[in-house]
């Protein structure tokens, strides 16, 4: 049996000679490989035909983290702390996410990718978590630090079934989070301070958005299981 093909969006930047380059942290590809999938990088090109052709070539989609998405996408002005992804990536990611969700492609969103799913379905974001929730839980640690905290998942959620628990430990590396859930999504996990940590589709199909970075916790079975669930959904 062939490996399910998992498309992965990537970042856009420049090298030392100011040439445009694509970037993807290896941990995302490793997570897909360890879960039994075949990772394929999807090159950003914001055209409907290319988005559909890209999705035709894969069985599932992993939306990765990065900088922030333009607040204009959800009807807000930028916060002083908002730092947006490159324009090329931003336009592509939104188009890719919307087309994938319309087509019923299995989708897993990680951190910024989780926020992207919510935006694509008409939801909104908290642009700067400390303003709304304070600092009781560290969601955005300093460089090199590793913040861990417990989340509580809804007992009847797909997330709880996948990880095999309603309380488990996650990491944090974000300053934004979902606020109003997008159409067809429900909040299925929160941090102790109330920050949304996961959303999932209410209907059929696999759509899961997690605010933490499970690709950095692959030594923990419950986090590798998230990628396993995406690969399993893509195999059908």
Contact 208, 158 (CB under 8 A): yes
Which of the residues 10, 111, 139, 175 is marked catalytic? 111
Which of the residues 149, 174, 213, 223 is marked catalytic? 213
Residue 142 CA: distances (Å) to CA of 26, 42, 186: 21, 30, 30
Could you tell me which of 52, 80, 58, 67 has the C-alpha nearest to residue 12?
67
Which of the residues 10, 174, 200, 215 is marked catalytic? 215
Q: Give catalytic status of residue 10 as yes or no.
A: no
Q: Give catalytic status of residue 213 as yes or no.
A: yes
Q: Give catalytic status of residue 138 as yes or no.
A: no
| Active-site annotation, residues | 111, 213, 215
């Amino acid at each position: 049996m062939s490996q399910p093909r998992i498309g992965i969006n990537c970042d856009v930047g420049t090298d030392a000679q100011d040439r445009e380059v694509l970037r993807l942290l290896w941990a995302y590809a490793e997570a897909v490989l360890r879960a039994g999938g075949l990772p394929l990088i999807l090159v950003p090109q914001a055209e409907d035909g290319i988005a559909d052709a890209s999705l035709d070539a894969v069985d599932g989609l992993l939306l990765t983290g990065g900088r922030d998405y333009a607040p204009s996408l959800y009807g807000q002005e930028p916060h002083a702390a908002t730092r947006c992804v490159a324009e090329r990536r931003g336009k592509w990611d939104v188009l890719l996410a919307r087309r994938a969700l319309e087509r019923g492609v299995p989708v897993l969103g990680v951190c910024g990718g989780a926020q992207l799913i919510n935006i694509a379905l008409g939801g909104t974001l908290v642009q700067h978590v400390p303003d709304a929730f304070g600092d009781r839980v560290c969601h955005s640690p300093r460089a090199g630090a590793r913040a861990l905290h417990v989340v509580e998942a809804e007992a009847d959620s797909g997330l709880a079934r996948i990880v095999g628990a309603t309380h488990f430990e996650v990491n944090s590396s974000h300053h934004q989070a979902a606020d109003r859930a997008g159409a067809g999504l429900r909040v299925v996990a929160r941090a102790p301070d109330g920050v949304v940590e996961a959303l999932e589709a209410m209907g059929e199909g696999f759509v899961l958005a997690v605010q933490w970075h499970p690709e950095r916790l692959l030594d923990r079975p419950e986090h590798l299981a998230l990628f396993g669930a995406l690969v399993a959904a893509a195999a059908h």
